[in-house]
Amino acid sequence: MRYFITFSYCGTDFHGSQSQPNGNTVQAEMEAAFATILRKPVALTFAGRTDAGVHAEKMVAHFDVEKPIAANFGARLNNLLPASIAVRDIQRVKDDAHARFDATERTYYYRIATRKDPFTRQYRTRIGTILDYTAMNQAAKHLLGKQDFASFCRSHTDVKTTICDVREAQWVQESETEAYFVLTADRFLRNMVRAVVGTLFEVGKGRMTEAQFKEVIAAHDRCRAGHSAPAEGLALVEIKYPNNLYL
């Protein structure tokens, strides 16, 4: 039988979400906790991957077990997991439900601050210059819709298509010193959000026009886009699934 597990993590302590030979990862920590409780290896399939330093307010993974898990299973996991990972919910789903392929929509926030703050430095990227949010939002409108985002995809990434359907793309000012960028789509490419944000920074600093930003999208060439924004400002905040997956 299959379950979806929903959890959060601070990416600062990890070399990314998914297991790799060198460096601690979220998946390695979670699978170790599962193995301790169930006394056997359990493989977790994540809804997606995040790079080193990137956070998740909501990540989902699926796992299979032979018999129903106990009601206190999530609490037991939290007792074993480091403080930087927190299990939020575990739900039974259909046996063919897939955490990655059945997701219909994902939302990322990229948070920035123009004032130095030691209490938010792990979760907001500090920007040393004043940005033109109006110009960035005008440019961001060109991201909307189903189109090829190869210009914002990490080079040599093994994907079948670079087509994504972007449903929301806008900057929201929270205060004079803090803002965040919302990007929602059906799927994302490796490094896509950070590449988009880094390019929008160029617009916000007056180094790139709206027309040039549109040309970057149309070029389908990563070399035309700006540098990737730093990891610490990025967080996966929402993943949506069809209701009929849950039992």
* Same domain (yes/no): 119, 220: yes
Instruction: Answer yes or no: is 141 within a domain.
Output: yes
Instruction: Answer yes or no: is 247 within a domain.
Output: no
* Same domain (yes/no): 89, 110: no
Buried b (16+ CB within 10 A) or exposed e, 117-136: eeeeeebbbbbeeebebebb
Q: What is the pLDDT of residue 159?
A: 82
Q: What is the pLDDT of residue 49?
A: 92
* Same domain (yes/no): 54, 109: no
* Same domain (yes/no): 81, 110: no
Instruction: Answer yes or no: is 48 within a domain.
Output: yes
Q: What is the pLDDT of residue 156?
A: 67
Segments in the chain below pLDDT 50:
none
The count of other CB atoms within 10 Å of the CB of residue 67 is 6
Q: What is the pLDDT of residue 137?
A: 98
* Same domain (yes/no): 90, 188: no
Assigned token pair, 1: 């039988």
Q: Which residues constitute the domain of residue 162? A: 105-238
* Same domain (yes/no): 97, 66: yes
Whole-prediction pTM: 0.95
* Same domain (yes/no): 133, 64: no
The count of other CB atoms within 10 Å of the CB of residue 43 is 12
| Of 51, 117, 186, 221, catalytic | 51
Residue 56: give its domain's CATH number. Answer: 3.30.70.580
- Among the candidates 56, 75, 101, a domain finishes at 101
Instruction: Mark whether 51 is an active-site residue.
Output: yes
* Same domain (yes/no): 83, 110: no
Domains in the chain, number: 2
Residue 157: give its domain's CATH number. Answer: 3.30.70.660
Assigned token pair, 131: 């940005």
Assigned token pair, 186: 């059906």
Q: Are the C-beta atoms of residues 125 and 198 closer than 8 Å to each other? A: no
Instruction: Answer yes or no: is 244 within a domain.
Output: no
